[in-house]
Amino acid sequence: MSRRFEFDSIGTIHSCFKEKFGIPRQPGLVADATATLELLPPYNRPEVVKGLEGFSHLWLTFVFHAIEQGKWSPTVRPPRLGGNKRVGVFASRSTHRPNPIGLSVVELERVESDAQSVVLHLKGVDLLDGTPVLDIKPYLPYVDAIEQAEGGYASSAPGGRQPVGFSAEAERVLQQHMSDYPRLRILITELLALDPRPAYKQTSESDRIYGMRLLDFDINWRMDTGGILVTQVTKL
């Protein structure tokens, strides 16, 4: 008989990703994808993270809060299999699962804390802005890094990166905001190189304009001969 548990979130993610589309499918794929994790009362006290600064990486468990709750199916179609072959939900990292709980290993850049606030600065995230975090645990290389582990149908990192170019107009806007957002061009390039389009669309070229919201910008792009062209970058 299954049992019911209730948990409170211990913190909230403030991330560069303002919508789901365009977020990398796993952490660590885009180093410049940054976020902060702000601990909530009563966990916003420096002692709860005492000793954490010695760890380079953390495990975060969190809630996929931005999906339709209660909607899951016993089999799913992972993008790594081209989006057209099914595996069991528990053989996947799908967001639609019986308990919509995510698990990501992220880089801890630094810990910022004072009497009433604790903020963890993170890199390489795959987390939507506003994600509620349930727990933080240090990544322990001696136990968590298993050299001989088998990766099933995802046995290697996603291969192939799309070349990414920028229109003159997009370059102009990036240049204009360079002093406040010095790494924005790198972030866009790294994200789009992964080709965020759904797997089943990746073989076809079309004139469709795609868009995503990143930090304080709307980014538009389309497929172009030989890669991706960022057509517009708009400051909100």
Lookup: tokens for 193:
């190189």
> Cβ of residue 187: shortest distance to ligand SAM, in angstroms?
15
In whole angstroms, the minimum distance from the beta carbon of 56 to ligand SAM comes to 18
Q: Which is nearer to ligand SAM, 103 or 178 (CB)?
A: 103
Give the residue with the Cβ less far from ligand SAM, 104 or 189: 104
CA gap 124, 131 in Å, rounded: 15
Question: Which helix (DSSP H) or strand (DSSP E) does residue 157 occupy?
Answer: none
Is residue 173 within 8 Å of residue 100, measured between CB atoms? no
Least distance (Å) between residue 49 CB and ligand SAM:
22
**CB-nearer residue toward ligand SAM: 23 or 219:** 23
Rounded CA gap, 161 and 112, in Å? 35
CA atoms within 13 A on the CB side of 130: 7
Closer residue to ligand SAM (CB): 14 or 93: 93
**Closer CB to ligand SAM, 45 or 105, in the complex:** 105
Q: Which residue carries 């810990």 as its tokens?
A: 111
Question: DSSP of 179-236, one letter per residue?
Answer: TT-TTHHHHHHHHHHT--S-GGGTT----PPEEEEETTEEEEEEEETTEEEEEEEEE-
Cα–Cα distance, 46 to 39 (Å, whole number)? 10
- Of 175, 207, 67, the closest CA to residue 130 belongs to 67
Of 173 and 192, nearer to ligand SAM (C-beta) is 192
CB of 226 to ligand SAM, least distance (A): 25
User: Nearest approach, Cβ of 85 to ligand SAM (angstroms)?
Assistant: 16
Smallest gap, in angstroms, from Cβ of residue 16 to ligand SAM? Answer: 12
Q: Which residues contact ligand SAM (rule: CB under 6 A)? A: 20, 23-27, 64-67, 93, 95, 102-104, 126-128, 131
